[in-house]
Each structure stands twice: as C-alpha cells, then as structure tokens.
Amino acid sequence: MAQLAPIATLVGTGASLYGTVRQGQAQAAQARAQQQQEAASLAARQQQIAAQQEADARARQDRLERTVASTRARLAAAGVSPDQGSAAAITTGLEQDAAETAQGSQEAAAARMAAGRSSLLREDGSLTTWLRAGSSFGGALRSLLD
C-alpha cells in the first residue's frame, strides 16, 4: 500500500497540471477574443473621430472662404484694393486664425484617439497559470521525496 501512495500522488499531480494548463489555455483564448473585440471597438472609435475631424475641417474651410470672400467684396465695394495694405492684413489675419483653430482641433482629436488606446500591460493570466502549475508539480516532487 505504501508503494501506491507515490504513484497516486504522481497521477494526482499530473491531473492537476493538466487542469491548470487547460485553464490557462481557456483564459488565454478568452483574453485573445476580448483583445480582438477591443481592437475592433477602438478602430471604430478612431474612424468616428477621423470622420468628425474631416467634417469639422471642411466646415471651417467653407466658413473661412465665405468670410474672406465677403471681406474682399466689402473692401472692393468701398474702393479699397483687397490685396494691398490693411485689407491684405485683414484677410491674412482671418486665414491665420483659421489655421490656429484647425491646429487646436487636430491636437484635441489626437488626444481623444490616444485616450482610447488600451494598455500594453493587459493581464491575460497565463503567467499565473504556469506558476500555479509549477507550484503543484514542486509539491508533488516534495511528496515523492519524503
């Protein structure tokens, strides 16, 4: 009977190791599926942000063109050449303001996209599973040596 105890311990350890490895594989598969789902969600959010940014840029460009055209028409109607002197400074200033606004919008969009990124240090449990398996194997060896 005393000879069966080490064999039973070894069989039990093998079953424990197998169960631990299968659990680790299941956790890894679940983590991969979750990562794929998160990646798809992140891609969709990034497409949304990019589309919104493009729409905002088009709207700003249209507003700028209308404002500059209106300003040039008013200056021309007043008898001032819109391409010289203070008239040129006004139109240049409008264009610079629009460029600064566009830059601020691009920075805000980049910050929103960066905030949506998931961590590279995501836990999937695989290391923990192998440590548990090693611990139970070590326990079995210790039991056999005693």
Query: Would the pLDDT of 113 be above 80?
Result: no
Q: What is the pLDDT of residue 20?
A: 86
Judge if pTM exceeds 0.85.
no
For residue range 4-43, what is the model confidence (pLDDT) as tens digits? 777 777 778 888 888 888 888 888 889 899 889 888 888 8
CA atoms in the 13 A half-sphere facing the CB of 74: 10
Tell me how far apart the alpha carbons of residues 40 and 31 are, in angstroms, rounded to a whole number. 14
Using one digit for the tens of pLDDT, what is the confidence trace for 47-79?
A: 887 888 888 888 888 988 888 888 888 888 888
Instruction: Encode burial over 85-118: b for 16+ CB neighbours within 10 A, e otherwise.
Output: eebeebbeeeeeebeeebeeeeeebeeeeeeeee
Q: Band of the pLDDT at 2, cuts 50, 70, 90?
A: low
Q: Which residues lie closer than 8 Å to 43 by C-beta, 6 or more apart?
A: none
pLDDT for the residue 22 = 87
**Selection from 14, 93, 101, 96 nearest residue 56 by Cα:** 101
